[in-house]
Amino acid sequence: MPLYIRDDATAELVAQLAKQRGITKQDAVRLAVKAELERTAQAVPLRERLEALWRENPLPPSTGQVADKEFFDELSGDL
């Protein structure tokens, strides 16, 4: 699907970025949009991003076992 940039100032900015990076105008638009999307995602506070991550990937339930030196020694056969 074609994308037409009708604003001369925007087209010039795209051309400048393409020239600086040595890429096509299409790649310059892709690069700029991707960077802006990443920047916007980073604008979400870390606490909110972590809460979303925890909701999507919950920790397994606790086993009740204590993970101390004795536990790890037994796992490695050092007892």
pLDDT of res. 44: 86
10 vs 2: CA distance, rounded Å: 16
**DSSP-derived 3-state class of residue 64:** coil
Range of the domain at 4: 1-59
What's the CA gap between 10 and 25, in Å, rounded?
A: 11
Has residue 12 got a pLDDT over 80? yes
User: Hey, how many other C-beta atoms are within 10 angstroms of the C-beta on 8?
Assistant: 8
Look at residue 29 and tell me if it is in a domain: yes
Give the pLDDT score at 54.
Answer: 95
Residue 76 resides in a domain: no
- Residue 66 resides in a domain: no
Q: Please tell me the distance from the alpha carbon of residue 36 to that of residue 30, in angstroms, as a whole number.
A: 10
pLDDT tens per residue across span 13-68: 999 999 999 999 999 999 999 999 999 988 889 899 899 999 999 999 988 888 88
Total domains in the fold of the chain: 1
DSSP 8-state assignment for residue 44: S
Specify if 77 maps to a domain: no
Instruction: Provide the pLDDT for residue 1.
Output: 77
Overall average pLDDT of the 8-17 stretch: 95
What pTM was computed for the model? 0.54
Nearest by Cα to 63 from 71, 52, 53, 51: 71
